[in-house]
Amino acid sequence: MFTGLIETMGTVRSTGSRFQVESDTDLGLVRGDSLAVNGSCLTVTGVQKNNLFFDISPETFRRIVVPVPGTRVNLERSMPAEGRFHGHIVTGHVDEAGVVTKVRRTAGFSEFSISFQQKSSLLLVEKGSVAVAGISLTVVSITRREFVVTVIPETLQATTAGEWKPGYRVNLEFDIIGKYVTQAAQAARSSESLREYLEQSRRG
């Protein structure tokens, strides 16, 4: 589990099923550790100084924005059991890729509009949490196909958010609590519909 508070950044050195990232700082990782790379939970399969290696499954490739060599990425180690909880619950399981559609900068802050798939609309609420490229952010507002987040200067400097421009693709992970609540509500609605159908069949 992660919190969405980025510890450092890194640079992608190679892609493919054998993925390599060079971290800006030594994170003290060993083989078998988990690391969120732009919000995607990956297992470390090799370490050479600050160079980290990962094996990427086809399912992960299908879900995430695959960065090209030279791309800067956000890095966060998994949260220890005794650690303090700062952001929100982030699993590292990317739901879909979003696209930055608008950028507005005022007094050092940046406001980003990010597109998402219509099927995910129930998983976003105003003032709720969303992980964008692994960063825990608060949803300011939502329209039919976009949501807006505001990023403070510290986050702009410490993460890849400072590089986001219109057209920039980002990994999105919606709040896990919202996912369970939505699934439970849909199951209850389906159950109620089935009950009504059976009652009508008996009467009919």
pLDDT at site 181: 84
pTM: 0.89
The 10s digit of each residue's pLDDT in 170-188 is: 999 999 988 888 888 877 7
- Cα distances (angstroms) measured from residue 105 to each of 61, 112, 125: 32, 9, 23
pLDDT surpassing 90 at residue 117: yes
Domains of the chain, earliest start first: 8-77 (2.40.30.20), 96-182 (2.40.30.20)
Nearest Cα to Cα of residue 97 among 173, 175, 171: 171
Radius of gyration over every alpha carbon of the chain, rounded to an integer in angstroms: 19
